[in-house]
Amino acid sequence: MDLKSKIILISGPTASGKSNFSVKFAKKINGEIINADSMQVYKELKILSARPYPKDYQKIKHHLYGFRSVKNNFSTGDWLKYAIKKIKEVKRRKRIPIFVGGTGLYFKALTDGLVSIPNIPIKFRNKIRTLHKNLGQKKFYQKLIKLDPKSKEKINSTDAQRSIRAYEVKQFTKKSLHDWFENTKSYFNKDDFLKIYIDYPREDLVQKISKRTEQMIKIGAIKEVKKFIKLKVRKDKSVNKAIGINEIKEYLVKRKDMSDVIEKISIKTRQYAKRQSTWARGNMTSWLKLRPQDLNKFLKKIK
């Protein structure tokens, strides 16, 4: 395989070692790393978003990390425009672009194109989320496939996030989400990509997540959230969903035991990792799956 002509994509659940692997890979192939994580774009969330360490920036050139303010909106469409621009810049320097992150929608936009679905009002979306909460995923999914039969083949019955999205799109636009996707084209060809997914065993990931959470607290996550609170970011901004913000806010008000905060953040992170894995099973079937023990073997094969 001629990697010089490729765009490398590296994904995997949170805490699976993507950043470390990508730096080693970039060294090997003269690559530059481009962020594909929706929270790592924000400059004010360095610790909670687990941005790469400064030492990694010194080794390899990194792009699209910590360059947006949490006060500004940043959509998948915005990211895609920046991503395409960065690919052109990196290739002009005769280097290989390597995208690294855990945001499935970013990768899907890059490989499949961005669906031009009309904006759905937040009140309408919240109404669907309330319906999902009241029914539970099992009953909601049954309701979805009655409304949009195409979803039965395309969406896993346990995938709550995609079920909600498919339901709201069909209900609002009267057109199946899957029809919207079929009419979408990517800026690139399928053969332009080498797609790698780090398939980390869940039981090992649980331990890694706990250790990383403890480390985040040690290096200043509390101070980071205090600064975030002072910014008075509007409640409807998606950045408020960043794992750790609400848990640390609660700690600052109630002054509970720090071990309780660490446990709550770890649980939420594990739940997020599970959602990422579910997304991968449904959307990344063509990706090369590598276990942690396979990563060094893979790098040794690269020339």
Span 98-132, pLDDT tens digits: 999 999 999 999 998 887 788 899 999 999 999 99
Q: What pLDDT shows up at residue 119?
A: 86
Q: Tell me if 95 sits within 8 A of 31, measured CB to CB.
A: yes
E strand segments, 247-295 = 288-290
Q: Which residues of the chain have pLDDT under 70?
A: 1
H or E, element range at 197: strand 193-198
Q: How long, in residues, is the chain?
A: 303
Give CA 33 to chain center in angstroms: 15
Q: pTM for this structure?
A: 0.82
Pick from 162, 38, 185: nearest CA to 116: 185
> In which order are the strands placed within the sheet that holds 7-11?
62-63, 31-35, 96-100, 7-11, 193-198, 288-290
Q: What pLDDT shows up at residue 1?
A: 60
Give CA 211 to chain center in angstroms: 20
The domains of the chain, with CATH numbers, are: 3-115+189-201+285-301 (3.40.50.300), 122-182 (1.10.20.140), 203-275 (1.10.287.890)
